Chains A and B, each alone.
Chain A
Amino acid sequence: MASGVATARTMGNRFSRLSIRRESQAYALLFLVPTALLFVGLVGYPVLYSLLLTVSGRGAAPGQLGAFVGLANWARIASDPIFSQAVVQTLMYVIPAAVLGVLVGLGVALVLNERFPGRRIVRAALLIPWALPPVVVAAMFQWFLDSRRGLLGQWLVNAGLVDQSPIFLGGVPGTLYMLTAIHIWKTMPLLALMFLVALQYLPNETIQAARIDGASRWRRFRYVVLPFLRPTIVAAIIIQVLITVQLFDLIFALTGGGPGRYSTYNVYFYTFKTTFEQTDFGYGAVLAYIVTGFVVVLALLLTRGRARSILS
């Protein structure tokens, strides 16, 4: 150690007179500077700027700050029927996506956790929907659900369930449910993967012990597996809510918010429309703040409250 310090000195290292601890702290700060600058520039500035947008009227050009209008933009929320509709519809996406997505994901994980021939291939295939780019998913389902040439309609007709292919993307609120279903199809693999990973941490012997103790398959699930997965289920629900609140691409690509004027809007999509199509940046920023606030609260819940129990 002494020789190490001496060498550092002879090399003229300017941290050499600091203690090791201080020295490493100094280095840590040094390495943090670029990231910190990037963070301030790419996150801090927009956050501040959009906060200013919420209290300004229309500017000279879209996105520029206008006259100070106080909380007028914020007040609009209360009397905006489209916003209320978007909130309700956000819930119509989120609740089934969270409940069904997590249930199906859990079921798939339990099946894939069993030993059967070809399990590896099925496990790999499971991830395909999650890995597909959203645009591809949208295009795929556009074809699949097409009312004249879509595969799904033809299957139903061929199976004798209907005389004529139904219109899948046309009804209210049927279209929203269709989007939710596609969204669940796309996100379920992620949830199933979370459960699969968690299940790897439940020792096989624990399940075997339960069998020997006399527990049927259902009771092994009910009393051993399910309690073990509880923290993961909570995390999965939060993550699914987070993802679904931010559902945008499917709506954009498949319905553009319709049928009708707003029947598949969620708050996120409404934010986009308001900001970039109506170029109402002030009100758009308010909406963006609402979505972001919700997401941040959820993310905090996830990292603060649950992370420890998930990791332990």
Chain B
Amino acid sequence: MAEVRLDRVVKRYPGLAADAVQETSLTFEDGLFTCILGPSGSGKSTILKLLAGIEEVTSGRILMDGADITNVTPERRDVAMVFQSYALYPNMNARDNIAFPLMLRGLGRQERYRHVEEVAEMLGIRGLLDRQPRALSGGERQRVALGRAIVRSPKVFLLDEPISNLDANLRATTREELKRIHQRLGATFIYVTHDQDDAEAMSDRVVLMARGSVQQYDTPTAIYRRPANRFVASFVGRLPMSFVRGEIREEEGRLRFDSGPVWVDLAGRRGLPAGPVVVGVRPEGVTISSSRGAPMVGKVTLTEVVAPDLYATVSVGDVSLRARVPGEHVVGVGDEVGVTFVRSLLHFFDATSGERIVVEDEPATVRSWDVAV
């Protein structure tokens, strides 16, 4: 078990204009499953390589349980890593691949293989142990690579997109399995992925990265419900958040967001400064109803099914809003519908910096499925 800390770590590759990792301080909590989530090229793998020691920091320190391990070689750090390519040893069968770390630690053959059997049992690969890596499928290789990490019982597991190369079904079952393994081992897991489903399904914490810097470090639900900036807001969520650029005005003592045809009465919401702002709203924050008598009316331009839900994109003037359609409704392209917002699900972002504007009465937690539609 270990807590791992990055202390003002910077990583710059020679010949690259931008830092792969900009100055970052971050604590991976002991025993938690932390996902590093972000688009390709955002520096996720680089962080993992720095933690493993196979890349050196340009500046800053890495601490494990308070001890400075910045200059400790990978051989002597108690971390195990699973690569996206699995990186199995091509000339050893699965058994010896898994046993390799134990062999290096001087365990006898019998004892090594006994441990391998245990781990293989846990991963359901006992029947594959005599195979060479090239005779294994992607999913099987992934398991062997995982076994090679587990067998060491390391303090820290580093996993670099270990399931990205698997098909969707296998990915789903592997997520459950990884979660179970994490619970069973209780070790610190640091898991790199570009897939938010991974983060949602497994993690206790999410580090959201973009262009080499941490955008938000939070629980997966908080990342979804209180995105720290527009990047996070648009990266997370099955369907993109709708953004509306407009202005907050005070009229007769009441706050109101205005963007031409789209407006929202913000009465009762404090902490919102008057002036230009971008409002973000996820589909579950937009309600559609019959157009009759509705204060705001739009036209359906697109419908999408993301089972079990139906989503409609509605144009209100020149603003496009994606809405989740309540179960009993049926809408089609071209329909006129009334549009209202769930005010508690609106996000406000600074019009220039894109940073979240924290609203004072922001609820501590709102589960997205709590919202009546």
Contacts and interface: CB of A to CB of B under 8 A. Distances in A.
Contact of A223 (B53, B85, B87, B100): B100
Interface in B24-71: 49, 52-54
Nearest to B148: A213
Nearest to A206: B87
A215 B92 CA distance: 15
Contact of B87 (A208, A214, A216): A208
A260 B75 CA distance: 58
A227 B91 contact: yes
A120 to B, nearest CB: 14
Interface in B69-93: 73-77, 79-81, 83, 85, 87-92
B184 interface: no
B329 interface: no
A contact patch SS: helix
A208 B74 contact: yes
B85 A210 contact: no
A212 interface: yes
A209 interface: yes
A215 B75 contact: yes
A213 B100 contact: yes
A228 B49 CA distance: 24
Contact of A213 (B90, B91, B101): B101
Nearest to B101: A213
Contacts of B148: 209, 213
Contacts of B77: 212
B292 interface: no
A294 B89 CA distance: 36
A206 B148 CA distance: 13
A80 interface: no
B179 interface: no
A44 B101 CA distance: 58
Identify which of A203, A211, A224 gathers the most chain B CB atoms within 10 Å of its CB: A211
Interface string A197-213: 00000110110111111
A74 B88 CA distance: 55
Given A206-B87, A208-B87, A212-B53, 6 more contacts: A209-B81, A209-B87, A210-B100, A213-B80, A224-B89, A227-B92
